[in-house]
Amino acid sequence: MSILKEKYDVIIVGAGVAGLNCALNLPQDVSALLICKKSPKQSDSYLAQGGICMLRGDFDYDEYYNDTMRAGHYENNPAAVECMIKGSREIIADLENCGVAFKKNADGSFACTREGGHTSPRILFHEDCTGKEITAALFKKVKKLKNVQIQSDTVMLDIIENGSECFGLVVYSQKEKAVKKIYADYTVLATGGIGGAFGNTTNFRVLTGDALAICLKHGVAVDNINYIQTHPTTLYSRKRGRRFLITESIRGEGAHLLDKNFNRFTDELQPRDVVKNAVLEQMRKDGTDFVWLDMRPIPKEEIESHFPSIVSRCAEEGYDVFTQPIPVVPAIHYFMGGIRSDLNGRTTLPRLYAVGETSCTGVHGKNRLASNSLLESLLFAKRAARDITVGYSAADEKAARAVITDTKKYSDHEKLLREYKRTVNKAVKLADSGVDINEKFKEKRI
Ligand SMILES: Cc1cc2nc3c(=O)[nH]c(=O)nc-3n(C[C@H](O)[C@H](O)[C@H](O)COP(=O)(O)OP(=O)(O)OC[C@H]3O[C@@H](n4cnc5c(N)ncnc54)[C@H](O)[C@@H]3O)c2cc1C
């Protein structure tokens, strides 16, 4: 790990699929810094299980589009949905070029699985660890780039801006044990979701929505921040810590949800929010802390080859999925809202971009269709890198240095991060009660 420089062309915050794909798509004469809060493996991208959607051919366009819109309660941004679906084949080709091994049929075509809300199978996968397969391949490739410096244990504490443009970041470097100002012509926020700001979540604890809180503080517009998806099925456990996801593709392959008397109580392949509500309602009726998920309708060989990580994690918790149902419960999972960004990742503050789960293009509407998020993150990150490249102009260095940023006020960085977490919690609650968040935070700044 090298020392941080004072200036880069581009700074990318986040080492998940969005940050990595943005770095990969910058020209090699552009110097970039890519930072992440802890280790690069602590990104939700590593955790993705089910897979990534792809438009199988023109014949599937209308159904894929309608499935995405229906899941999102038709609150989706149609242009973003169209852009994502039409760009999906290019993204899959890029991933294969990076060495990602998707499951294939004997004839060499992609094997496709299905999840809730999809009318037909169109999800590519690598066992039940598609995210790890993709993220590790991208990381390996970015690591080889001479123009990209990867710096882990480096936390974004703030952005540097003058009301008209963004000029970089204030960060805390664990290695240097110092708060530093780093300037850049362009800054890209790829900081993932906000699940870590809440108790019961599938997300890594470090993902607490710092970028969202920072944008609120600086008047960068955000949208739909109370649109938070709860996943219907995580492994029930009394232990503290992150909830272990049981991918929806298990239900896509035939697993059943059962009540306390081991009877089915819902159609398992409806969109996520519908199944989650059915599970919560059943728990209420039964007076239980969980419902059962029975994988036994799936052929044993399919379970073994497709879901090895789930089999072994359940075994660690004392469940043999081949002979008994497992207890499952809903948990906070995915952030559909976020920092307002256009189809090229531009936020409302010039020179500041947002991509991946932290951004909101409106592609998911009110509820994300399963396995659209890896695709969304990869695609809009690539578009942001292209947008930066095509319109590249150096920032005004004098204006950047004129922004007075006293690094002393960041010395207790842990306290600041706790404050950001509280801001996120409070803002979500306010948005939920109908308050216009952008207006509310504008008032606070005046
Ligand atoms: C258990 C689980 C299973 C999932 N399965 C699927 C699936 O099958 N298919 C699918 O499409 N999607 C799935 N998702 C969702 C998907 O994984 C994420 O939406 C996607 O990976 C987000 O990528 P990202 O790059 O935006 O963020 P992340 O991969 O979460 O990366 C965020 C990065 O930002 C960094 N960061 C955050 N704050 C700071 C800060 N202040 N300073 C510096 N760095 C910071 C973090 O360190 C991290 O490196 C799943 C999610 C989970 C949790």
- 317-368 pLDDT, tens digit per residue, is 999 999 999 999 999 999 999 999 999 999 999 999 999 999 999 999 999 9
The superfamily CATH assigns to domain 7-227+336-445 is FAD/NAD(P)-binding domain (3.50.50.60)
Chain centroid, CA 123 distance in Å: 17
pLDDT given for residue 122 in this prediction = 96
Residue nearest to atom 51 of ligand 1 (CA): 48
* CATH 3.50.50.60 intervals, the chain: 7-227+336-445
Confidence of residue 285 (pLDDT cuts 50, 70, 90): very high
CB of 31 shorter than 6 A to ligand 1:
no
Q: What is the mean pLDDT of residues 403-415?
A: 90
pLDDT given for residue 443 in this prediction = 75
- 49-80 pLDDT, tens digit per residue, is 999 999 999 999 999 999 999 999 999 999 99
Residue in 122, 251, 272, 383 annotated catalytic? 272
Confidence of residue 1 (pLDDT cuts 50, 70, 90): low
pLDDT given for residue 239 in this prediction = 87
For residues 177 and 357, what is the distance between their CA atoms, to the nearest angstrom?
29
Q: Euclidean distance between the first and final Cα of the chain, in Å? A: 41
Q: What is the mean pLDDT of residues 21-43?
A: 97
pLDDT given for residue 2 in this prediction = 79
Residue nearest to atom 27 of ligand 1 (CA): 192
* CATH 3.90.700.10 intervals, the chain: 232-333
Confidence of residue 406 (pLDDT cuts 50, 70, 90): confident
Is 288's pLDDT higher than 80? yes
CB of 138 shorter than 6 A to ligand 1:
no
CB of 55 shorter than 6 A to ligand 1:
no
CB of 14 shorter than 6 A to ligand 1:
yes
272 is catalytic: yes
Q: Report CA(26)–ligand 1 centroid distance (Å).
A: 21
Q: Report CA(280)–ligand 1 centroid distance (Å).
A: 26
pLDDT given for residue 445 in this prediction = 64
pLDDT given for residue 241 in this prediction = 85
Query: Pick the residue with more confidence: 404 or 31?
Result: 31
pLDDT given for residue 405 in this prediction = 79
CATH 3.90.700.10 for domain 232-333: yes
| Percentage of residues of the chain with pLDDT beyond 70 | 99
CB of 210 shorter than 6 A to ligand 1:
yes
Q: Give the least confident one: 76-85, 161-170, 264-273, 390-399.
A: 264-273
As a whole number, the mean pLDDT across the chain is 96
